[in-house]
């Protein structure tokens, strides 16, 4: 029996600083294949090559991955500054309308880090360019030194709304997560429900209110060690169940209840 297909949003990159590629982390593919039980398919997120309509026809669900470039601030009505960092306008052109189309249609997606921020912007929200510059906020960026294991180590708690969808999914009101982001949600978009926050108040977990499909998104990187991590595994398992439901025609039948 064939597995349902999850489109993994790729990022523009340069090999040896000169050869352009669309890239995706192996940990993303591993989490989708080994935990969600779906077939990972890397998407070249560029409107010159693919359209939202084609992607929705070819894939059963989508993983909105993390990425070094940030959503361009013009997408939420602000001017770019040095603090906003690098951008990927081609990815913006695909993922933002893709999120809105999936919300409308009920097609499942899981947002991670930049993907979490994309969901908020797609729904009309805004972002802070640099969380660590805000009074009372911690530094959420990736540690500059150390091994990958050290960079992706659990660094802070995330507290969830009591009785909310994330609380029920993880079976705990608080979990430990890694943190590797510079930007974060400033104003929540329309229908965005923030259910998880870091100790400094930074939003860390959300869903889209009233969406007929799976829209859970997190600011941390659950794809790291997803097969073994007690927080990552149920998230990717739930996403896989939603994708299979979409693929077999039952659609939102297995959608996590948000009420």
DSSP code at position 20? E
Query: Exposed e or buried b for every residue in 245-257, given b needs 16+ CB within 10 A?
Result: bbbeeebbebbbe
Predicted confidence at residue 67, as pLDDT, reads 87
Q: Distance of alpha carbon 126 from its chain centroid, rounded?
A: 16
- 10 Å CB burial of residue 26 (0-12, 13-18, 19+) is exposed
Beta bridge partners of 14: 20
Predicted confidence at residue 151, as pLDDT, reads 85
pLDDT along the chain (259 residues), means of 10: 94 90 94 98 96 97 93 92 84 97 98 97 96 87 82 90 97 95 94 97 97 97 96 97 93 51
- Tokens for 22? 């669309």
User: Could you tell me which CATH class the domain 5-254 is placed in?
Assistant: alpha beta
CA-closest candidate to residue 177, choices 189, 162, 194, 160: 160
Break the chain into its structural domains and give their ranges. Answer: 5-254
User: What is the spatial distance between Cα 125 and Cα 129, in angstroms, rounded to a whole number?
Assistant: 13
Phi-psi region of 27 (alpha: psi -120 to 50; beta: other; left: phi over 0): alpha
- Tokens for 40? 């990972």
- 10 Å CB burial of residue 57 (0-12, 13-18, 19+) is exposed
Beta bridge partners of 177: 156
Predicted confidence at residue 33, as pLDDT, reads 98
55 SS3 class:
helix
Predicted confidence at residue 141, as pLDDT, reads 86
Predicted confidence at residue 253, as pLDDT, reads 45
Residues composing the chain? 259
Question: Whose structure tokens read 């189309």?
Answer: 101
Predicted confidence at residue 138, as pLDDT, reads 87
Cβ neighbors of 51 (< 8 A, separation 6 or more) are none
- Tokens for 75? 């997408």
User: What is the spatial distance between Cα 55 and Cα 95, in angstroms, rounded to a whole number?
Assistant: 11
DSSP strand pairing (61-64 vs 5-9): parallel
For 53-168, strand residue ranges (E) read 61-64, 109-112, 126-128, 156-160
Catalytically annotated residues: 113, 221, 223
DSSP strand pairing (11-15 vs 203-208): unpaired
DSSP code per residue over 39-51: EEEEE---TTT--
């Amino acid at each position: 029996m064939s597995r349902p297909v999850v489109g993994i949003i790729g990022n523009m990159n340069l090999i040896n600083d000169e050869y352009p590629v669309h890239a995706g982390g192996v940990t993303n593919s591993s989490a989708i294949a080994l935990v969600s039980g779906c077939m990972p398919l890397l998407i070249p997120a560029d409107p010159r090559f693919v359209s939202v309509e084609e992607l929705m026809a070819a894939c059963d669900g989508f993983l909105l991955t993390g990425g070094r470039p940030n959503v361009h601030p013009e997408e939420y009505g602000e001017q770019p500054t040095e603090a906003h960092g690098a951008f990927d306008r081609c990815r913006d052109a695909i993922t933002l309308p893709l999120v809105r189309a999936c919300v409308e249609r009920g097609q499942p997606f899981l947002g991670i880090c930049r993907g979490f921020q994309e969901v908020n912007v797609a729904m009309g929200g805004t972002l802070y360019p640099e969380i660590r510059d805000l009074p009372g906020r911690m530094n959420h960026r990736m540690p500059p030194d150390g091994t990958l294991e050290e960079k992706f180590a659990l660094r802070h708690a995330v507290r969830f709304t009591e009785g909310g969808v994330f609380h029920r999914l993880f079976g705990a009101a608080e979990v430990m997560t890694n943190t590797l982001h510079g930007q974060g949600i400033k104003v929540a978009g329309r229908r965005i429900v923030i259910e998880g926050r870091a100790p400094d108040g930074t939003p860390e977990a959300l869903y889209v209110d009233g969406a007929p499909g799976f829209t859970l998104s997190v600011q941390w990187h659950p794809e790291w060690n997803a097969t073994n991590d007690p927080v990552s595994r149920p998230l990717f398992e739930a996403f896989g169940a939603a994708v299979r439901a979409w693929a077999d025609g039952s659609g939102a039948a297995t959608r996590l209840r948000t009420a």
